[in-house]
Amino acid sequence: MYSLMANCCNWLKRWREPIRKVTLIMVGLDNAGKTATVKGIQGESPEDVAPTVGFSKIDLKQGRFEVTIFDLGGGKRIRGIWKNYYAESYGIIFVVDSSDVERMEETKETMSELLRHPKISGKPVLVLANKQDKEGALAEADVIECLSLEKLVNEHKCLCQIEPCSAIIGYGKKIDKSIKKGLLWLLHIIAKDFDALYERIQKDTTEQKAAEEQEKRERAERVRKIREESYLCIF
């Protein structure tokens, strides 16, 4: 009887909660398994994934959350685009190839650069220690040590959770439970501090949008002048 009441209460509480729109960014080195993870969450087979040198996104509903996940290319040169998405992200999913021990140093540097960015510091980070299905994959504790994760997250005041997983063992309903668990954790943390995050993100995105609009207008003006000069050639 008591459990029934508790369930009713929970359900009522959830029903009264507003729908929250949340954006997450999925980052990590190239070949970490970001696109495979995203596809798996979406319910698609992660086979035959082409390297992302750009951007794509997925939308999903989780409880009262409407979640958008930005899947961003992780190659050394394209990583430069990540910062453009920091302002609007509520949380970060950082995917690590646990079997690629040689690149752990590079992963650490990349993560450090990410977490110290003013638009990221303080936001929750989910670290997916992916490719656990591969031989030689580092276990959770080893990954934490290689990345000096504890030090990093404390330094930048980011709440953090690490989940060892494999993005290819299943997709959709059969997705690796750790991935689901990690995602739920992330959303839970975001929900706890939602109002503050929301304020911060509103401010940052308004600023960013204004700057983008300004740049767009200026470029349009410059190009308009170029077009006018060649009016003669247009027929």
Partner 1 sequence: MGEVQKGLLSVIQKLKGSEEQELRIVLLGLDNAGKTTLLKRLASEEVNTITPTQGFNIKSVHSHGFKLNVWDIGGQRAIRTYWKKYLGSTDMLIYVIDSADQKRFEETGQELSELVEDENLTSVPLLVFANKQDLATASSAADIAEGLNLHTYRDRPWQIQACSALSGEGVQDGMNWICSQITSRKK
Partner 2 sequence: MMGGAVQQDAHRMFVQVCLYFYCKCLWRCLKFVVRKLTGRCELQRICYNTKPGAGRTMKIETSLRSSKNKVLQNAVSVHPDAIEKTIDTIMELKKINPDVNPQLGVSLQGCLLQIVGYRNLIAQVEKLRREPYDSEDPQHEEMLLKLWKCLKPDSPLEARISKQWCEIGFQGDDPKTDFRGMGLLGLYNLLFFAERDAAAAQQILSDSLQPKYREVSKEELSKFTKAEWEKKKFDKAIGYSFAIVGINITDLAYNLLVSGALKTHFYNVAPEAPTLSHFQQTFCYLMHEFHKFWIEEDPLDIMEFNRVREKFHKRIIKQLQNPNMALCPHFAASESLINL
Residue among 3 and 230 whose Cβ is closer to partner 2: 230
Cα distance between residue 14 and residue 63, in whole Å: 8
Residue among 19 and 232 whose Cβ is closer to partner 2: 232
Supply the minimum distance, in Å, between the C-beta of residue 234 and partner 2: 9
94 binds, options partner 2, partner 1, none, Cβ within 5 to 8 A by partner type: none
Q: Are residues 57 and 70 in contact, defined by beta-carbon separation less than 8 angstroms?
A: yes
Binding flag, residue 230, partner 2 (CB under 8 A):
yes
Measuring CA to CA, how many Å separate 23 from each of 20, 31, 47, 104? 10, 23, 25, 27
Q: Are residues 90 and 56 in contact, defined by beta-carbon separation less than 8 angstroms?
A: no
Structure tokens at 43: 């319910």
Coil, helix or strand for 179? helix
Residue among 5 and 232 whose Cβ is closer to partner 2: 232
**DSSP class of residue 227?**
H
33 is in an annotated binding site: yes
229 binds, options partner 1, partner 2, none, Cβ within 5 to 8 A by partner type: partner 2
Binding flag, residue 77, partner 1 (CB under 8 A):
yes
Q: Hey, what amino acid is at 152? A: L
Residue among 110 and 132 whose Cβ is closer to partner 1: 110
In our burial notation (b when 16+ CB lie closer than 10 A, e otherwise), range 16-44 reads eeeebebbbbbbbbbbbbbbbbbbbbbee
By CB under 8 A, which span of 12-20, 67-75, 173-181, 227-235 interacts with partner 2? 227-235
Q: Which of 1, 18, 50, 61 binds partner 1 (CB under 8 A)?
A: 50
Binding flag, residue 233, partner 2 (CB under 8 A):
yes
Q: Which of 1, 5, 19, 233 binds partner 1 (CB under 8 A)?
A: 233
Size of the site for partner 2 (CB under 8 A): 5
Residues 78-137 touching partner 1, rule: CB under 8 A, are 78, 80-81, 84-85
132 is in an annotated binding site: yes
**DSSP class of residue 85?**
G
Cα distance between residue 229 and residue 224, in whole Å: 9
80 binds, options partner 1, partner 2, none, Cβ within 5 to 8 A by partner type: partner 1
Binding flag, residue 219, partner 1 (CB under 8 A):
yes
Measuring CA to CA, how many Å separate 106 from each of 1, 30, 79? 55, 11, 12
Residue numbering of the annotated binding site: 28-35, 52, 74, 130-133
By CB under 8 A, name the binding residues for partner 2: 229-230, 232-233, 235
